[in-house]
Each structure stands twice: as C-alpha cells, then as structure tokens.
Amino acid sequence: MFPPRRAARLELGRRGFLVSMCAAGAVFGFPRRAQATMNPEAPDGLPLDAVGAKYEPTLWYWIDSTGKVNVNIIRAEMGQHVGTSIARILADELGANWDDVHIDHVDSDPKWGTMVTGGSWSVWQSWPVYRQAGAAGRIALAEKAASLWGIDASRITVENGIVSGGGKTASFGELVTQGVTRIFTAAELQALPLKPHADLTLLGKALPALDIRTKTTGQAIYGIDSKVDGMVHAAPILPPTRYGCAVTGIDDSAAKGVKGYQQTLKIDDPSGTVPGWAMVIADSHWAAQKAAKLVKVGYDIKGNAQQIGEADIQAENKRLIDDPKTGALLDTGDTDVDPVFAKAADTLEAEYTTQTVLHFQMEPLNALAFQNQDGIWEIHTGNQWQSLCLPWLQTALGVGAGKVIMRSYLLGGGFGRRLNGDYAVPVALASKALGGKPVKMVMMRPDDVQFDSVRPPTMSRLRMAFDAGKQVIAMDTAVASGWPTKVMVPSFMPKGVNGEHYDPFASDGADHWYDVGAQRARAISNELAEATFRPGWLRSVSPGWINFAVESFMDEAARHVGQDPLQFRLDHFTAQGRNAGSAPNAVGGAARQAAVLKRVAEISGYGKGGLPADTAIGIATTYGQARSMPTWVGGAVQVHVDRATGHVDVQKVWLVVDCGTVVDPDGARAQVEGGAMWGVSMALYEGTQFKGGRVIDSNLDTYTPMRMVDAPEMTIEMVESTEAPTGLGEPGTTVMAPALANAIFAAVGVRMRHLPMTPQAILDALKATKT
C-alpha cells in the first residue's frame, strides 16, 4: 500500500540578455585546476585544452590536429543531453564526423555572455549561434584546402570530417596541422551562408549522446562528487523563516562530543541571500550532520512570516485580483474589455487555484567553495544560471568582477531549482570565515526542501463575454502569484501597456493564441508570498498553472454555449493579426496550434465514444515556453474515475508536438515524456502547503510524486518541420493538467478547478453534485 499523496539583484535588461546570448569573442575558458573537473572524454585523461595544435573559428569550438571537434557548452547538463543537441547543430553545419565530436561544459567567464539553462531556451537560442560557428569552420577549412591545392574554394566540399576537391582530400586534422588562421568578425559570422535544410545530415537522426559513456561507466562528475585536498564539511542550520531572522546566539556544547566536530559559524551575508544561517563545520559530512542536530541557535525574528499559511497567501491572491487597479496589463491588442462585458448577452466566469509545489530534484543542493592560490574564489557546483549567481557571490564575499569563478558540474536534476544559486552563498561565506579554506556542503533532504524556491500558490480568474448569437466577444484574465523574477532579477521584467512591470515567467500563458475579440490579461504580484519565501522557477513555470486555467476554461466555455470543446477551440484559432505568428520563431501562429490539436484528436479517437462507464478522453492544447518562442502541443488523456474512491486511473496519453526542426529525436522524445509525466504528477499527486511560514512536507514520505506503476501508456508524435527549432524542456508539462481536468469532467461530470486534483477532492465534488 502506498502512503497518502499529498536578495541581491542582477542588473541585466532583457535586450542585454538576448544580445549577450549571441555575443562573439575569442579563445577558451578557464584552465581546469581541480581533479573533479577533469573531462573524462579527453584522450589519456588530459584536459581537452591540452591536446595538440588547434584552430578556433569562434569561441564556441576548436578543431585539434587529430581532427577532433571540441564544442564549448555554456548550458547546464541535468539529464537532457543538451550538449549533444547543441554540438549536433554545429557539427552538421561544419560537416564534421560525429565520432570526432566532443563537448566541454565550460566554467564561468564573461566572454560566454549570459550563462543560463532554463525556459526551454537552450536549443532555441543556440540554433543561430552554433550554425554560424559551424559555417565559419567549414568555410575556413575549404579556403585552406583551396589555397593548398590551387583551386577555387567553390569546388571544395566538406563532409563527414573530410575536405575534398580537385581529386584531393584532407582530414580536418591535416589541415589544422598545416595552419588554418581565418578569423571572423561578428558581422562576418552573421552574414555567412548556411546550408539549406535539405543538406543537413545529422539533425533528426538517431545518434549516440556524447555523454552516455561517462554516465554509464560512472565517470561523470556531479556537483555532489566534487572534492579537493584539505576540505572540511558543512551542515547548515536554517532559520525558522526565510527572511527576517538574525542569529542571537549559538550553543554548541552538546556538539563538542561528536568526533570530528570543529565549530559552528554564524553566517553574516552582505548579499541578503541567506539571513539567519549558521554552518556546522566538521571533518566529515556525517560528523557535520550529527553535530548539527545538537547545536542550539537563538534567533531574533522580525516580521510575521511565522503566522503565514497557504490560506493567507491564497486570500491575498484573491484580494489582489478583486482590485481592478492592481497588476500589469499585457499587450494583447484591444485591452478595453469593460464596455464589451457591459453590453454582453451572456458571461461566464471561473476561478482556478494551485497549491505550493516543490522541486525535489534527485541530487540535493550542494557546493564546494575555496580561495585558490591566485586569490580567486572558486565555486564548484551544478548550477543553471551562473550569471545570476555570480553577482550575489561577489557581493557576499566583498570582491569585484573576475574574482569569483563557478566551475561547471553535471546536475542530478535541476527543473528550475538550480536557476537560483542561493545555496552557493553560505558555503562561500563559510570558506571566507575560515580564511579561504575549502568548505563543502551537502544538504540533507529536509533542509533542501525547507530552502526550496517553490512554485507558489496561484490563482487565475477568467471571464468570457458572449453576444446574443453565443459568439465570443471578449475575454478577461487575471493571474496572481509570487514572482520569482521580481525577487531575483527584476531588471528582466518588461513593462505592460499600463507602464507597470511584470514577471513574464509568472504570466506566460495568459496571452494565448485564441481569437476572442477584446482581450485583457492582467499579471499581479503577491508581495505577501514574496515576503514569506523566495518564489522560484519550476519546470514550465507559469504555463504549468495558467494553461490549466485557460484550457479548462475553454472547455467550460464550449459546454456553456452548447458546442463541442474541440470545434470550439478550432473555431477560435484564426491565424490573423497578432495571432498570425511571425518569423523566425512563431511562423504560422495559431494555425500551427490548431494543427496539433486537430491531429491529437484524430489519433486519440476523441469524441468517437464507445468507452466504458466513467471513462473518457479529455483534450487540451498549449504552447510554451512563451509567445516569443512557442512550441505548440496538443494533448489528449484517457482516464477512468472510480466513483467510490475518487482515484483517477490515467490509462493513455497522446501528445502531438510542433517544435519546428527536431534536432535530437531521442532527446526530444525524452523531454516530452518527462515533462508530461511531471505534468500528470503535479495535476493529481503533488502539492504541499505553507504553515507558519514553512512548507509542511519535508521529505518524500509525505510528499509523494507519481509512482512508476501509475505511469500511463503514451503516444508521442513530433511534427516534421523545417522551421526554426524552439524548446522542449517545458511544453510537455503544460498540457497535462487541463487535459486531465477536462477528461474527469467528461467521465463523471465534476469540474475540478484546483491542483492537485486529489481523490478526496473528487469525492467531495461528486458528493456535491448529489445534493
């Protein structure tokens, strides 16, 4: 029987962020110093940058004298094989032999631009940059061969690692040995001719992932594996609340009896990231953990966070939405909906809420910090957003730019938790307190959870206006939650049409692709939530809860006016005006979303009937991560609802996904599958609550995600396309909750408007329908 289910700020503008992602520069990354960061893919175990002569067409890769193509990856690897996808883009444009391609996850350096892995951005943003880089190498090698052979470069071909022309051939390595020196300016890179899509031979093909060998042989190094000589171990003692706590005293008398215990440090943090922390220092991890249970810490607590619970945060969401003056208005075209609602023949309104959701990434938070012999602070950890974390570390340590380096490691799961690198700050400060001595912290699961940057409690209120002919004439959407971007990187927030800033990651999804006449979308920040805890980015971020509301509401609206939910949606996907889409990332607009919805209805048999009692198929369609780079998803789910227990048996899932060009088919399918399974898990099983300023679940004995036995049969179709590739990390997650809610309604006639949709909630809804 299973148990019950249940700051400092980075000043970076959005334009600056996008510009920096395409920045070009020179040379390579920091030298590898610690044993833990050696690349096991390198010959003889040497660092890749120590192997032979090399030619660097751009900073993104180099070719050595053996013909190896070594690709620099700034994205975090957390199981999604991001390096393989990005290297494939470059290798295909270059004309490399896939067996000669290697990847190196580089350390932080300003030359890389902004280092971030999230938002389903990695392949999308890398596509133009790495194609240009590959073209540069191909052209330079062709020019070198043409010069050596005395023929025109137009007669040269570059394929599978071999350069040919005029009856002669040379390998990449042979040409590099003879000296390839062509350097490209940023303007020249952007002007390089790229291969026609039909000439790309690696994209979309089944190829081995470049990091499979090290992962399957145990050679892959994760942050939790990091170690250096002479390091001590740390265990944190967290304050009662995230903010407003100051340590007033430490009593470690009982801990002194623990073998290996050294001392307990009071952490004073100038960056404001970890107020009220203490760090227990010991010879070993287990000694630190044992001692931490015996140390008593006194606190001065300011503010009322200890009185705040889940209901208080939701009540504040409701109060904010009730006030029409709150929030930022997104640019949805005609936002003047009030006169339209005033003259409407009929209206519909519904409210949707979600509970707090935790990350529970497999690898607990960890970091190793020390000051090296050059006076540089080294931070060894797996992280998704080095450019966000570096300024916090600099402020905390009281040093300037260039004095902190983050060494890159594999992540044992990230899902957005490691976008927030707050966990590195106390480790760095502990090392500073010990004179730069290496300090390693591995958090135990309960501390990891209490320090989590959660998906906050959310509320969405949707209204729709109809004319006398039951045609939609206006839609009004208001969404409220804690805003992670506001808390951690406010300069990334654009302004709405009313001049108010908004968090795009707390409002994506509200501006949908349906043609509904006048449309208003209002995004509202819940400052009570933000003062109680640090909201975070969690896989799919706001589309995970806003699309639950939008697609449930579209289902309700269709039934309200007596129309088929599928046809109702299709009728409102008119690819005109702002919903027509735009190049290069959203070509086709609403028409492509209509296509995936129509296709998933076909392959699932939606609307055909013939299913057993209390069994039905629900549909939904979403896009992600944002309108600026949409991946369109059509989803259908077949469920059986047990009226006696409220249990939802998810029997089958169908997904049709249009992400443009599919770069890595295996990786793409894995991303969609994993995202969809988490979508089911968050819809039916996952959810905690705040009580006294802290979450009530601290481990996987009470917070129980979906089990393997609950995983449904799944059919996935990837739409064949030659359009620019968009992201796949999040979109599969977003469609599941509304498809499930719609299926539950179709099966037993109860409308679930709160996540998670637990068996007890379904029983309560069924009971309410009888009274």
Output the CA angle 188-193-198, nearest 5 degrees.
155
Q: Which of 699, 724, 60, 609 is closest to 360 using CA atoms?
A: 699
The residue-averaged pLDDT of 399-420 equals 97
Instruction: Give residue for tokens 């071909």.
Output: 157
Give percent of the chain with pLDDT exceeding 90.
93
- Residue 707 pLDDT exceeds 90: yes
Contact between residue 146 and residue 165 where contact means Cβ atoms under 8 Å apart:
yes
190 pLDDT higher than 50: yes
- Has residue 64 got a pLDDT over 80? yes
**What pLDDT does 340 receive?**
98
> In Å, what is the CA distance from 544 to each residue of 188, 218, 710?
41, 34, 20
Residue 608 DSSP SS3: coil
Q: What's the mean pLDDT when you consider all of the chain?
A: 93
Bridge pairing between strands 101-105 and 69-73: parallel
- Which tokens sit at 684? 């039916």
Pairing of the two strands 261-266 and 278-282: antiparallel
Whose tokens are 């036995």? That residue is: 709
Q: pLDDT at position 355, please?
A: 98
Q: Determine the average pLDDT of the residues in 600-621.
A: 97
Whether pLDDT at 15 is above 80: no
Axis-axis angle for helices 424-433, 386-397 (nearest 10): 30
User: What does the pLDDT look like over 197-211, one tens digit per residue?
Assistant: 999 999 999 999 999
Which pLDDT band, with edges at 50, 70 and 90, does 770 fall under?
A: confident
Give the whole-angstrom CA distance, residue 771 versus residue 761: 16
From the list 59, 54, 55, 141, the residue with the least C-alpha distance to 93 is 141
pLDDT exceeds 80 at position 108: yes
In the chain, what is the greatest distance between 2 CA atoms, to the nearest angstrom? 90
Check pLDDT > 60 for residue 51: no
The C-alpha atoms of residue 38 and residue 214 are separated, in whole angstroms, by 12
User: What average pLDDT does the segment 396-407 reach?
Assistant: 97
Answer whether residue 41 shows pLDDT above 70. no
- pLDDT tops 60 at residue 23: no
Q: What is d(CA 504, CA 118) in angstroms, rounded to the nearest whole number?
A: 13
Query: What is the spatial distance between Cα 434 and Cα 232, in angstroms, rounded to a whole number?
Result: 10
CB-CB contact of 60 with 86 (8 Å): no
What span, in angstroms and rounded, lies between the C-alpha atoms of 551 and 742?
8
- What integer is the mean pLDDT of 17-23? 35
Interval 244-303: pLDDT, tens: 999 999 999 999 999 999 999 999 999 999 999 999 999 999 999 999 999 999 999 999
Q: Which of 687, 694, 702 is nearest to 757 (CA)?
A: 687
pLDDT higher than threshold 60 for residue 672: yes
Question: What's the pLDDT score for residue 675?
Answer: 97
What are 630-650's pLDDT values in tens digits? 999 999 999 999 999 999 999
Tokens of 9: 């700020």
Phi, psi angles (nearest 5°) of residue 265: -100, 135
Report pLDDT digits (tens) over 286-322. 999 999 999 999 999 999 999 999 999 999 999 999 9
Q: How far apart are CA 213 and CA 216, in angstroms?
A: 5
The pTM score is: 0.93
Q: Does 345 have pLDDT greater than 60?
A: yes
Mean pLDDT of 544-555: 98
pLDDT at site 570:
98
